[in-house]
Amino acid sequence: MAPVLHALEEDSLAESVACCTGQHQELLTSILSLFRIVPNYHLHVMAPNQKLASLTSILLTELDKVMQIERPDRVLVQGDTTTAMVAAMAAAYQKIPVGHIEAGVRSHNPLEPFPEEMNRRVIDVIADLFFAPTAVERADLIREGIPPSHIHVTGNTSIDALRQVASLPFSLEGSVLEKLPLRSKPVVLATVHRRENHGEPLINICNAFRLLARRYRNSMHIVIPVHPNPNVNACVHRFLGDIPNVTLTPPLGYQELVALAQCCHFALTDSGGLQEELTWLGKPALVLRNVTDRREAVDAGAATLVGTDTQTIVSAAIELMENGALYQRMAQPREIYGDGNSARRIVDILRNQDAWLPKASTTAITINQAAVQPAA
């Protein structure tokens, strides 16, 4: 949402106010600093081991308060988080129109990813403006009954953010990445955090990483930024904490993550966002999911869906390591998900759709991955 916030700030008719729910505060602080966002609202709704039901109820109450204070013309939500879904619900209860950024993304499996597939479907039932990353999402929205005139293919603002951060100067000195063998051997970036991968699937994934590390003990280094969720953290450290060519790091700041992705040979990931970003960077991705909601990357040959079976993961990684022709086909930079100008397109569409020109001012508020535009 940061690129949209900045695009709104550059519009003479928009006044921006930022609000954070506090989700993953340890990760959020560096993002806010990197993108120069100073929140005006801190909701502090998160708690350790919080259940989705309690999170939803407190978010709905607190976001409703913010919207009553700001009295928005329109609410913008991005993606498929619980914050985004609840912000759309809060807006609906106050009869405020909703625009969905990253609309139409589908895995067509209600349990994978969970609860994200449910969240984004709820948002798209509520919304009246849909900013789809690609024509694939547009087609899915039309099949679900959304009028084509309400859908705009804009690319994804995640590529705007990536393009901006990738262009910034970054020094390895003093960073978590400083001691990694980024130039002496192939480095594999591995991330895993999805709820549906907790338990046995995560054990299978960790076993695959162990086997790969042993096979390529002198010619591969695996780097895993470990997600703070205790279901992930404990398992990853238990299975992988004692392997010399596996480095477990704390969660990386976004600039560090982008730098690592730029340097990596390929990635093993269950992250939806990384699937998009890796295609723009030209880095192959082996997707640790049974289904993917980024079909475009798979269809283009930039990513391969490998699931969570240990041997399937190992076989796919070996082929990518040892089949140079396959690697070269996958390692091509592609603008599948955008060219870095999505936020500007979105703001231009909003200006025309909501007729800002006659108004003296409009305000935008970011709420982690939601934003509201209050009335003048």
Instruction: Give the whole-angstrom CA distance, residue 331 versus residue 328.
Output: 5
Pairwise pLDDT comparison (370 vs 16), residue with the higher score = 16
pLDDT band per the 50, 70, 90 thresholds, residue 368: low
pLDDT band per the 50, 70, 90 thresholds, residue 365: low
What's the whole-number mean pLDDT along residues 30-51? 81
Whether the pLDDT of residue 9 is over 50: the answer is: yes
From start to end of the chain, where are the E strands?
A: 14-20, 39-42, 72-78, 98-101, 129-132, 151-153, 187-191, 221-225, 246-249, 266-269, 285-287, 303-305, 362-367, 370-374
For residues 306 and 328, the answer to whether their CB atoms sit within 8 Å is no
What are the structural domain ranges in the chain?
2-156+338-374, 187-330
Query: Model confidence over 216-229: pLDDT tens digits?
Result: 999 999 999 999 88
Q: Percentage of residues in the chain with pLDDT exceeding 70?
A: 92
Q: 187-330 belongs to which homologous superfamily?
A: Glycogen Phosphorylase B; (3.40.50.2000)
Whether the pLDDT of residue 373 is over 80: the answer is: no
What pLDDT is attached to residue 27?
66
- Would you list the DSSP string of 119-140? HHHHHHHH-SEEEESSHHHHHH
For residues 271 and 290, the answer to whether their CB atoms sit within 8 Å is no
Whether the pLDDT of residue 252 is over 60: the answer is: yes
What pLDDT is attached to residue 24?
63
For residues 261 and 180, the answer to whether their CB atoms sit within 8 Å is no
What's the whole-number mean pLDDT along residues 324-346? 96
Q: 2-156+338-374 adopts what CATH topology?
A: Rossmann fold (3.40.50)
What pLDDT is attached to residue 156?
96
What pLDDT is attached to residue 359?
47
If you count DSSP H runs as helices and E runs as strands, how many of each does the chain have, helices first? 15, 14
Are 2-156+338-374 and 187-330 in the same CATH fold? yes
Instruction: Give the whole-angstrom CA distance, residue 187 versus residue 159.
Output: 23
Residue 151: beta bridge partners?
A: 130
- Would you list the DSSP string of 237-298? HHHHTT-TTEEEEPPPPHHHHHHHHHH-SEEEE--HHHHHHHHHHT--EEE-SSS-S-HHHH
pLDDT band per the 50, 70, 90 thresholds, residue 357: very low
How high is the mean pLDDT of the chain? 89
For 70, 294, 321, 343, the CA distances from 370, given in Å and listed in that order, are 14, 21, 40, 14
Residue 374: beta bridge partners?
A: 72
Q: Percentage of residues in the chain with pLDDT exceeding 90?
A: 70
For 75, 85, 309, the CA distances from 60, given in Å and listed in that order, are 14, 10, 38
- Active-site residue set: 80, 102, 116, 193, 195, 227
Query: Model confidence over 60-109: pLDDT tens digits?
Result: 999 999 999 988 888 899 999 999 999 999 999 999 999 999 999 999 99
Instruction: Give the whole-angstrom CA distance, residue 21 versus residue 45.
Output: 6
Query: Model confidence over 169-190: pLDDT tens digits?
Result: 888 888 889 889 988 899 999 9
Instruction: Give the whole-angstrom CA distance, residue 30 versus residue 68.
Output: 29
Instruction: Give the whole-angstrom CA distance, residue 25 versus residue 133.
Output: 27
The enclosing H or E element of 117 equals helix 116-126
Closest C-alpha among 363, 371, 316 to residue 100: 371
Strand pairing of 362-367 and 370-374? antiparallel
Q: Is 358 exposed, middle or buried (0-12, 13-18, 19+ CB in 10 A)?
A: exposed
What's the whole-number mean pLDDT along residues 248-273? 94
Whether the pLDDT of residue 375 is over 90: the answer is: no
What pLDDT is attached to residue 39?
82
pTM, entire model: 0.89
With H, G, I as helix, E, B as strand and everything else as coil, classify residue 71.
Answer: coil
What's the whole-number mean pLDDT along residues 179-207? 93
User: Could you tell me which residues come within 8 angstroms of residue 52 by beta carbon, excluding any fewer than 6 positions away?
Assistant: 82, 115
pLDDT band per the 50, 70, 90 thresholds, residue 354: low
